[in-house]
């Protein structure tokens, strides 16, 4: 059966552990599973980390990445997503895409005979969550029993991070304004995935109290630019600043998938301060991508 990575929950907890282990394995020990193969990388939205980390991961596994902008391929404008997929799988060992509408990835994977990888959709960002776990496990060791706090918008990054942390047994706390938080159904899903404790509040200090990792992300995701003013007003009390970080555990770290907007979701003194792990987290994107692609290529 062809495996895809559209959401973190497309793999089991054991497989998630294996991907993290593969991400840590020396490159030479992975055996160039993509030797002579292509990997298509289609981007409907801008990217720095995802494009570079995926291209380099493909190269490190012996393959050849082919980058295409969304406008050029024209998913569902120039031709249907299904036709694009059926053609690309004749050239490539895998197809990865960053899309506005997650349903496009579902449609592509439903006709695909090669793995389809989500490089960010409106629903999720699994490649980011893999890197985040890699960074946090390097800091803490096992995530089981650790408390991971999310402050701000419950978005694609938050959902994938929550899924991955739950599957590793971490406690989850979300602080989001009314109307921007996880639904009760989402919170139950995290419990079912393995989190021992899942809480959602509108009070950032409550969510961050004693947390080991404090995460946030932009208040305005790609595609939401028209709502910038309204969103900035709704999230005005959700800046991760030094007084909020003071509520966290003494050795708590700050994380952000980037790009970051200093003065909005995070104060410059926090993101550029000693608790911030953003650069290592960004570098972990490449190691996590290599682990995920190696897993999909069959490396065990």
Interacting residue ranges for ligand NVA, rule: CB under 6 A? 120, 155-157, 217-218, 221-222, 257
Of 9 and 53, nearer to ligand CP (C-beta) is 53
Stretch that binds ligand CP, among 3-11, 43-51, 180-188, 206-214 (CB under 6 A): 43-51
User: Can 128 be counted among the known catalytic residues?
Assistant: yes
Length reported for the chain = 300
Q: Where are the alpha helices (DSSP H) in 124-261?
A: 126-140, 156-167, 184-193, 204-208, 228-234, 242-245
- The one among 94, 120, 187, 252 contacting ligand CP by CB under 6 A: 120
CB of 50 to ligand CP, least distance (A): 3
Record the tokens describing residue 244, joined without a space. 């909020």
User: Can 125 be counted among the known catalytic residues?
Assistant: yes
By beta-carbon distance, which residue lies closest to ligand CP? 50
Q: How many CB atoms lie within 10 A of CB 225?
A: 9
Regarding 290 and contact with ligand CP (CB under 6 A), the answer is no
Record the tokens describing residue 232, joined without a space. 């900035």
- Contact partner, 270, from ligand CP, ligand NVA, none, Cβ < 5-8 Å per class: none
Regarding 96 and contact with ligand CP (CB under 6 A), the answer is no
**DSSP code per residue over 165-190:** HHHTT-EEEEE--TTSS--HHHHHHH
Q: Which residue pairs from 202-206 have beta carbons closer than 8 angstroms and sit at least 24 positions apart in sequence?
A: 202/175, 202/176, 202/177, 202/178, 203/175, 204/151, 204/175, 204/237, 204/238, 204/240, 204/244, 205/244, 205/247, 206/173, 206/175
CB of 215 to ligand CP, least distance (A): 12
CB of 49 to ligand CP, least distance (A): 4
Q: Considering CB under 6 A, how many residues would be counted as binding ligand CP? A: 8
- Contact partner, 48, from ligand CP, ligand NVA, none, Cβ < 5-8 Å per class: ligand CP
Q: Which residue pairs from 226-232 have beta carbons closer than 8 angstroms and sit at least 24 positions apart in sequence?
A: 231/153, 232/264
Regarding 50 and contact with ligand CP (CB under 6 A), the answer is yes
User: Can 98 be counted among the known catalytic residues?
Assistant: yes
| Catalytic positions | 98, 125, 128, 217, 257, 285
Q: Which residues bind ligand CP (CB under 6 A)?
A: 47-50, 120, 128, 257-258
């Amino acid at each position: 059966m062809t495996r895809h990575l559209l959401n973190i929950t497309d793999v089991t907890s054991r497989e998630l552990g294996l991907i993290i282990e593969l991400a840590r394995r020396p490159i030479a020990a992975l055996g160039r599973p993509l030797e002579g193969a292509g990997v298509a990388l289609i981007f409907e939205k801008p990217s720095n980390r995802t494009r570079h980390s995926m291209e380099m991961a493909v190269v490190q596994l012996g393959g050849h990445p082919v980058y295409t902008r969304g406008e050029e391929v024209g998913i569902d404008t120039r031709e249907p997503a299904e036709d694009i997929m059926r053609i690309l799988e004749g050239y490539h060992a895998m197809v990865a895409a960053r899309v506005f509408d997650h349903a496009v990835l579902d449609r592509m994977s439903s006709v695909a005979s090669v793995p389809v990888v989500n490089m960010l959709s409106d629903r999720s960002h699994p490649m980011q969550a893999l890197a985040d776990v890699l960074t946090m496990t390097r800091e803490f060791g096992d995530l089981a029993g650790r408390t991971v706090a999310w402050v701000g918008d419950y978005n694609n990054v938050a959902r994938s991070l929550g899924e991955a942390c739950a599957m590793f047994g971490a406690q989850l706390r979300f602080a989001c304004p009314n109307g921007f938080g996880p639904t009760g159904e989402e919170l139950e899903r995290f419990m079912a995935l393995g989190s021992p404790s899942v809480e959602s509040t509108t009070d950032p200090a409550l969510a961050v109290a004693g947390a080991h990792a404090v995460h946030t992300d932009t208040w305005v995701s790609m595609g939401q630019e028209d709502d910038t003013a309204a969103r900035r007003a709704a999230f005005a009390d959700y800046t991760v600043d030094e007084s909020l970080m003071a509520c966290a555990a003494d050795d708590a770290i700050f994380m952000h998938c980037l790009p970051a907007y200093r003065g909005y979701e995070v104060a410059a003194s926090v993101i550029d301060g000693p608790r911030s792990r953003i650069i290592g987290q960004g570098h972990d994107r490449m190691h996590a991508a290599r682990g995920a692609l190696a897993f999909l290529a069959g490396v065990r």
